[in-house]
Structure 1
Amino acid sequence: MNYEAPICDEPAASFADLISPISNEEFFSVYWEKSYLHVRHPGSQFAGYFSLRNIEAWVRSTRSGMVFVLLPEAEGGVRFDIHQARDLAPGTVLGNFRRGFAQILKRLADWPNLQGLVRHLSRVFHADIQVNAFLTPAGARTHPTYSDNDDILVLQVEGDADWQLHEFSVLQLDLSQKRNLEFPEEWQRRTETPVLAEVHMQPGDLLFIPRGMPHFATPPVSTSLQLRIYITPLFWADFLKFAAEYAAVHSQELRRALPPGFVGSDETCDLMRASFQQVMEIFKGVSFDGVLAAVKRNRVAHQGFPCDGQFDVLGAESLTVDSEVERRPDVLCTIEEVFDSERNRKSTIFFGDGRLSGPPHLYRALDFIRNRNRFWVAEIPGLDEKGQLVLVRRLIAEGLLRLLPEEGACAED
């Protein structure tokens, strides 16, 4: 589907800005895992993130970045010439460009102008986010039709680009054992589907490509620079891996080794087949809430803290019950009732790589904080003034909250 966004000269600061006029709710109900989305933004909407003039600085400064050079091969294919960016001599990327080779600049997520957007998208999707830049000279050969294991947001920064998008029915994911698995024909022939749409992109345009959708970017007629944001969410397959470890903690049978010699013994494999049914019965007793709590903690810790000046904590001495505070943007948090080593029940809030625990009656206050972006200290329920101040000072020190300037106005949630 194609949409025109309202005119805006500022770079998109959120996912809602990227897909405007589509709402987040409509995106996840209509497009996520279902279809492509093309939004036309006027002007150079994305040049503030990364542009041609930033390439040399990125090559000189990146520690983990890589450069993939696409070298043409016979019958329309390409092969990759791969380099660590830090090992390249000055001017190498420009030299490859002048020779007419398309290049992929990999691992741009830590580029300063992209860090905020990357962290925000990580929170929105509860996903790992990576960013690559695709620099393509006019007429350069590009990658043949293929499908990705990640959902992709394509931001057209400079030049035009034409895409062919194909029908799809397979939601791909990266499987650690894919070399050892047998795949159905639908999966094996997933890139041989009919063309669904042809999309012409101009600077400022966004294209969402769901994972598994075959796609092909035709050689451009002029220099093209794109940012491709790769979204790797947690899948139900990942949830089941958590469930397997949860079950193993509670079941001795799952902690037993596979019988030695099973590879070459049919008799041993027959015994394993009988045991397998018993093992699967154990999963019926696995607690969904227990597994969910583990998954939530994993995502909270993985999201971590943003680099947004947390040394402002030094100003917390002026905190009063009339102060306004906010949860730091893009920090995930979750609340649970847990038991300590002496089996005492505790209300605990997890955030970043930390946690704060207190007596059960603290749950109401923690729940209030989790569900408010901004609030006045005096609004926290279930605590007297001293308790409110102690709790907020602790959460400021630990990194979940920060004090707002006195002139800040409390926003409606």
Structure 2
Amino acid sequence: MGMSHMEKDVIAWILDIQDSEGFFSKYRGTKWFHARATNRERFADLLSIDALDRILGTNGIRHPDIRLVSADQKIPPSEYVWRDRMVDPAKVARLFESGATVIFGGLHDRHEGVRKLCTRVTRQVSAQTQTNIYLTPPGSQGFKPHWDTHDVFVLQIEGSKRWRIYEGGPIRPLKNQKFNPQIHNAGEITEEFTLNAGEALYVPRGMMHAATTTDETSLHITLGVLTYTWADLLIDCISEITERSAAWRANLPPGFYRPKVQSELQDSFKELIEGLPDEMDLPLVTKERQLRFEAHHRPRITDNLNQAMQASSLKETDAVKWRSETAASIEIRGERIVLQNGNTREIEFPIAARNTLEILLSEKSLVTKEIDDDLDWPSRKIVLEKLIREGLLSNESIR
């Protein structure tokens, strides 16, 4: 499957399946999934060891954005950073050669391909995403058996790793229920397999696992999905209600913890809880939460100035395209239509621009005079110019 499929259904693209519906209904949150592949270069366009070498040597990265780990021993940061916590690339390379795993944290803030991957997964699964990049020398292990408190998709870029799935581990652990090697032990091995370059693996939170490199250097992306739960939704709903309902902001009675006050407390609390379904604004709360998720991966656009300077020169023969890295939604407010981009940015247009915006949001390349909306060219040009200046639309005729 090509990169175009990545834009339409990124989970299916990662797992090399036709569509992700079956994955979400049968595997997500409950079962691991090994996506086997015959094309070892399937993820080669995403990231490479050469790209990591450039980032390490030129980006001035500080600890803990780069960490070194080994299952056999602790590696203190003092062994590979200068006094200002800046990472010393030469020391990192020497420790890697000696068997240490190099972890690049938060590379989605430094590498465009990884950022786009996170953005698309965030949009599809409606959850915050993050990445750790693991570069492991041959025959080494970064971590002993453990579980994570978030779901992970592992994309094997180069080399291979021998994976083991173990019994044990909590069901759907919370963020604060982290693995502790001092008190938690892995159970029996239930599955063992090799994850080769071009293949992917899904591991739900709480599932015990470990991986060791084979006889070749391994590079993989671990994409973490910080699951949004029913409990999280309830907390968000109550927070939103509290802002507009004085009843939820009332003080508790004095001595509320005492047994003789418990009956009164329970009656009052029950009354508030029973009114929740009628008071909750689910569309508002869920929309704001999704916008917050997407705001974590803001677009990195390199031609804003050039596009803005030439916006007024837009011609009917020019081709324009919505920037796929900029998520947006539209909302009707009376005689105005509001374009929401991120959780704080709103851009208003006359209601007559509705069809134009809906067509543009399809993310197709369109010749401006062929946009089948209800506007004449002067009116359409005003809308398009504004979107170009806002960094949401690109004039593809500008190079």
Gaps of 5+ in 1: 1-5, 73-77, 180-187, 339-343, 408-413
Gaps of 5+ in 2: none
User: Could you tell me how far apart the structure 1 residues matched to 2:264 and 2:294 are?
Assistant: 41
Deviations 1:197-248 (A, max 9, x none): 3221223322222333322214644443322222224333332232112211
From 206, 231, 234, give the equivalent of 1:237: 231
**In the alignment, which residue of structure 1 is the partner of 2:327?**
332
SS of 1:91's partner is: helix
From 37, 53, 57, give the equivalent of 2:34: 37
C-alpha spacing 1:393/1:380, structure 2 compared with 1 (3 Å): farther
From 187, 195, 200, give the equivalent of 1:201: 195
How far 1:65 sits from its partner (Å)?
1.0
C-alpha spacing 1:107/1:25, structure 2 compared with 1 (3 Å): same
C-alpha spacing 1:151/1:326, structure 2 compared with 1 (3 Å): same
How far 1:333 sits from its partner (Å)?
1.1
User: Could you tell me how far apart the structure 2 residues matched to 1:298 and 1:248 are?
Assistant: 19
From 383, 387, 396, give the equivalent of 1:395: 387
C-alpha spacing 1:164/1:337, structure 2 compared with 1 (3 Å): same
Identity across matched positions, percent = 22
**In the alignment, which residue of structure 2 is the partner of 1:317?**
312
From 339, 342, 356, give the equivalent of 2:347: 356
User: Could you tell me how far apart the structure 2 residues matched to 1:38 and 1:405 are?
Assistant: 40
**In the alignment, which residue of structure 2 is the partner of 1:279?**
272
Q: Please, what TM-score do these two structures have when normalized by structure 1? A: 0.76
C-alpha spacing 1:356/1:336, structure 2 compared with 1 (3 Å): same
**In the alignment, which residue of structure 1 is the partner of 2:119?**
119
C-alpha spacing 1:375/1:170, structure 2 compared with 1 (3 Å): farther
**In the alignment, which residue of structure 2 is the partner of 1:130?**
130
**In the alignment, which residue of structure 1 is the partner of 2:95?**
96
Counterpart residue type for residue 137 of structure 1: P
C-alpha spacing 1:368/1:53, structure 2 compared with 1 (3 Å): closer
User: Could you tell me how far apart the structure 2 residues matched to 1:173 and 1:324 are?
Assistant: 49
Deviations 1:158-209 (A, max 9, x none): 3321112357996635446x59xxxxxxxx99964x6553221223322222
**In the alignment, which residue of structure 1 is the partner of 2:364?**
373
How far 1:41 sits from its partner (Å)?
4.4
Structure 2 contact 123–294 (Cα < 8 Å) conserved = no
Structure 1 contact 322–376 (Cα < 8 Å) conserved = yes
User: Could you tell me how far apart the structure 2 residues matched to 1:291 and 1:273 are?
Assistant: 27
Q: Please, what TM-score do these two structures have when normalized by structure 2? A: 0.78
Counterpart residue type for residue 20 of structure 1: D
**In the alignment, which residue of structure 2 is the partner of 1:384?**
376
Alignment coverage as a number of residue pairs: 379
Structure 1 contact 170–190 (Cα < 8 Å) conserved = no
SS of 2:336's partner is: strand
User: Could you tell me how far apart the structure 2 residues matched to 1:326 and 1:222 are?
Assistant: 42
Counterpart residue type for residue 110 of structure 1: D
Structure 1 contact 243–291 (Cα < 8 Å) conserved = yes
Structure 1, 140-149 or 367-376: larger mean CA deviation: 367-376
